[in-house]
Amino acid sequence: MVSSARRLGTDPGPLLEPEMSALGWKVPMGREVELPGRGTTFVRELPGPSPDAPTVILLHGLAATGGLNWFGCFGDLSERFRVLAIDHRGHGRGIRDAARFRLADCADDVVALADVLGIDRFVPVGYSMGGPIGQLVWHRHKDRVSGLVMCATSRNFRGRPRERVQFLGLGMLVAGLGGRIHLGSPGDAMNAGRVRRVFESMLTPELLNGSQRPWMLSELRRNDTNKVIEAAEAIGRFSSHAWIGQVDVPVSVVVTTRDWLVPVRRQVKLARSIPSAVVFPIDGDHLVCANQPEPFGRVVADACRLVDRRTRQHRRGRGTLTALG
């Protein structure tokens, strides 16, 4: 029996990824969108159940893409929300430019996308690296954010040396290559191939054994290796410690309880730093979005629905934002 996260209905339409559709996953094919003055990005979108449905914008993790990170979530979320998933700079088919990767630029890209599509307020939903990006969307554009959902993420990644090494180079990446990859160097082609193989071995051992393998590999291989490394370094420098407690919109925090990359204690500290945060635990590791996509999709949908419900209640003056919702 196919779960609600994978139901396609009687007419899935022509705008779904055919490989994933054949497996029952409702993944929109996506399109390029020009962001004036910024570049061309790539967005996957599903309409909501009505023209006035609230909007969620999905922000993927390091070395992933909008489709790869969120393929298990599109179906459930589209039952209540207009759903968009952007490819971040240097990832997938996201913006390509010569500037060094900055999380703040990714946050501004999200708002620029909302401007182009005529979206006033929305809920950023961030996973891992997407968590800092979502936090920065609120910090830099408070009037555009109606709520926040953060998954498998933290307010900073500057903890113990082992944790810093993991995000500064995804562990084996820095250990094996020493971070010595430079644009224009003679060994770029060889190094890029080695880095790509490292990413694939780290990020996909459990999930690339099924029928979705070709599509997932094609998504991973769209990444700009150098930009992904710069992104890892940017994550290692990020901290919202000084201002995250000022978040004044409803927040849900999805905690991956067996996470090997973002320790549970860091995820819980993030939730405890925000007065309005409600925790949604899921029994999974840092790859739960890919190796347990159906339960992950259900939990993310529940987290988003609570944020939306609390937002509506708050606007109607029925209560204040508290950790109990």
Phi, psi of 138, deg, nearest 5:
-65, -45
Residue with tokens 């930009």: 227
Q: What is the pTM of this model?
A: 0.85
Q: Which residues pair with 148 in a beta bridge?
A: 251
Q: What is the pLDDT of residues 76-101, one digit of tens each?
A: 999 999 999 999 999 999 999 999 99
CA proximity to 57, closest of 128, 160, 161, 127: 127
- What's the confidence (pLDDT) of residue 178? 34
The whole-number pLDDT of residue 214 equals 80
Q: What is the mean pLDDT of residues 178-203?
A: 46
Query: Do 284 and 257 form a contact (C-beta atoms < 8 A)?
Result: yes
CB atoms within 10 A of CB 264: 14
User: What is the pLDDT confidence band of residue 22, given thresholds at 50, 70 and 90?
Assistant: confident
Query: Which residues face 316 on adjacent strands?
Result: none
At residue 163, the pLDDT reads 56
Q: Greater confidence, 213 or 144? A: 144
Check if the beta carbon of residue 106 is closer than 8 Å to that of residue 88: yes
Q: Which of 37-46, 145-154, 160-169, 184-193 has the lowest mean pLDDT?
A: 184-193
Q: What is the pLDDT of residue 194?
A: 53
3-class DSSP assignment, residue 73:
coil
- Domains in the chain with CATH codes: 18-156+237-315 (3.40.50.1820)
Give the amino acid at 28.
Answer: P
Please answer whether residues 145 and 154 qualify as being in contact, where contact means their C-beta atoms are separated by less than 8 angstroms.
no
Q: Provide the pLDDT for residue 159.
A: 62
pLDDT of residue 133: 98
